Structure 1
Amino acid sequence: MIELGKKQKLTVVKSVDFGVYLGEDMQADAKNRVLLPSRQVPEGTKEGDSIEAFIYKDSQDRLIATTKEPKLQVGQTAVLKVSQVTRIGAFLDWGLEKDLLLPYHEQTLKVREGEDVLVALYIDKSSRLCATMKVYHYLSTRTPYVVGDMVKGRVYEISDRFGVFVAVDDKYSALIPAREAKGKYRPGKILELRVSEVKEDGKMNVTDRQKAYLQINEDAENVLEVINEFAGVLPFDDKASPEVIQREFGLSKGAFKRAIGHLMKEGKVEIKDKRIYAK
């Protein structure tokens, strides 16, 4: 069976002036053949030879083969450049003559010409190859990483409930849990991360925070900056709710209390009347 969106080894069934027809074997009938245009046919090719080709569709929606290497196949993810934005969606450069459509309904944010976007390749209901930015189900859970490893990950989705979804190496499934997420994140941003957990299903939890004993100095500096933005008086102390602390500092309550304790030891802040004062 000739599979759309995949590379496969096929047999040269028939030669014509404008190329060769490929099929699973020499007995393939006209309905089960696909054209490899003459400019793609390796020199010296003859009937019965095997050729590895990628199957996609031409501008007239007909199956066609190519020996060019696409940047991804069905079910895979890759970072592609936006070559054009039109009324029906964006078109991406994926290494073939015909650009790949990224429909508007498959975009998780507005894309612009020249941008790099992480996408997966799928076959839509009309049997066309399309790209999607909704890559969660396409990312691999066969991670080669273990707890403590440093990795690079691309943010592709942000959830108030779950946290920040990240594609490590643009390939592996990972999450910065909501309790760990601090600061501002945006889709497309690449982060330096540490693997904090590898689950039984292979998905990773990651963090952009250092280990607590290393992170405390940075947190303390950031907390002091915010207190100074409040004119040196924070209108609550370290017993404030986790939601307030997260909103103002992007920290967990535990990290905030450690930072305040550190600042107090250094004599930079004091707590009185349920407020925190910079000295």
Structure 2
Amino acid sequence: MEYLEAGTVVNLRVDREARAENAEEAFGYFLTNEEDESVLLHKTEIHGEVEIGGEVDVFLYQDKSGRLAATMTIPEIQIGKYAWAPVVEIRHDLGAFVDIGISKDILVSLDDLPLIENLWPEPGDRLYISLKTDSRGRLFGKLATEDVMGGIANKALFTMNNKDIKGTVYRLLKVGSFIITEEGYRGFIHESERKREPRLGQMVDGRVIEVKEDGSLNISLLPRKQEKMDEDAEVIWEYLMSRNGAMPFSDKSRPEDIQAKFGLSKASFKRALGKLMKEQKVYQEDGWTYSSDRK
């Protein structure tokens, strides 16, 4: 027996036209199940031919007025069926609205989102969800659990070590973030391996720092040592140029002064400064650093 429940696909009989009083044209059809429960299939939700007395497969959802409605557009995301859904709107009083491929966006309730709002997804991010209904039958998006993500994850080979990856954040914990990569590998980003905590649903770029025995990955969002040195050298160079090629800092400067001005440890500062000197871009004299064109 096909019960009428939002979030499911059912096969229903086309019972009669839906027509406003004195209207010449029908605005859809009423569909019924064996219990004579009926639901409206609006003409804008019809694909192909529909005949009275025939049967159609439809997806059930609530329309913008909260009434149960039917569409012949069958989304991949249903109750018990998961897929990725792009975030299209954020309402701070409600949560995140996602597009599952039908005419009405679906709400992922704020109750299921991180407590810290700046970790909520943004439009353009994506969430791996199925659907659920509350006690009043209202349809909501349901975030995938760790068990669900584990069920779809692929096992990474040890050759993935040190590879660059892209992945979507699907779970946030105090100690770190979980992602699923474009290849379908499950990864963990420890809080020490990032500059800031990524959002739920955010796509991040990282690198593999360990392939674990179970085929999951440990990921770092921090640059490699050479990349970090390049970034630090660029920061120092830009500051030097902003002062017309002379700055009162050198490898003899105090660590606290370097940290306050550049946000770098003294070791990182010296490595980056050494790189600029090796490239013959700068020289040091009497505790100052100068661009080479000032010689």
Q: Shorter-chain TM-score: what band? A: 0.5 to 0.7
Deviation at 1:98, TM superposition (A): 3.2
- Give the aligned residue type for 2:154: T
- Cα pair distance change 1:34/1:177, threshold 3 Å: farther
Q: Deviations over 1:175-220 (max 9, x none)?
A: 22233224x35426533233444545554332335665x5464376
2:16, 2:52 within 8 Å by CA — same for their partners in 1? no
1:272 corresponds to which residue? Answer: none
Gaps of 5+ in 2: 19-28, 241-246, 279-287, 291-295
Number of aligned positions between the proteins: 245
1:191 corresponds to which residue? Answer: 204
Asked whether 1:129 is paired with 2:139, we answer yes
RMSD, aligned CA:
4.9
- Cα pair distance change 1:190/1:92, threshold 3 Å: closer
Asked whether 1:72 is paired with 2:77, we answer yes
Asked whether 1:15 is paired with 2:15, we answer yes
**TM-score (normalizing by structure 1):** 0.60
- Cα pair distance change 1:66/1:196, threshold 3 Å: farther
1:58 corresponds to which residue? Answer: 63
Map 1:1-279 onto structure 2 (within 5 A). 2=3, 4-6=6-8, 8=9, 10-18=10-18, 19-21=29-31, 23=33, 28-30=34-36, 35=39, 37-39=41-43, 40-41=45-46, 42-45=48-51, 47=53, 49=55, 51-59=56-64, 61-70=66-75, 72-74=77-79, 75-82=82-89, 85=91, 87-89=93-95, 91-108=97-114, 109=117, 115-119=123-127, 120-126=129-135, 127-131=137-141, 137=146, 139=149, 141-143=152-154, 146=157, 147-148=160-161, 149-155=163-169, 159-162=173-176, 164-169=177-182, 173-182=186-195, 184-187=196-199, 189-199=202-212, 203-209=216-222, 214-215=226-227, 217-218=229-230, 221=233, 231-232=249-250, 233-235=253-255
- The whole-number CA distance in structure 1 between the counterparts of 2:248 and 2:198 is 26
- The whole-number CA distance in structure 2 between the counterparts of 1:192 and 1:89 is 26
1:122, 1:131 within 8 Å by CA — same for their partners in 2? yes
1:166, 1:175 within 8 Å by CA — same for their partners in 2? yes
Deviation at 1:116, TM superposition (A): 3.0
- The whole-number CA distance in structure 2 between the counterparts of 1:259 and 1:86 is 42
1:118, 1:170 within 8 Å by CA — same for their partners in 2? no
- Cα pair distance change 1:222/1:66, threshold 3 Å: same
- Give the aligned residue type for 1:99: D
- The whole-number CA distance in structure 1 between the counterparts of 2:181 and 2:198 is 15
1:77, 1:135 within 8 Å by CA — same for their partners in 2? no
Q: Deviations over 1:123-159 (max 9, x none)?
A: 2432322136x65545454237642454322446665
- Cα pair distance change 1:230/1:130, threshold 3 Å: farther
Deviation at 1:81, TM superposition (A): 0.5
- The whole-number CA distance in structure 2 between the counterparts of 1:172 and 1:57 is 35
Gaps of 5+ in 1: 237-243, 269-276
Deviation at 1:78, TM superposition (A): 1.6
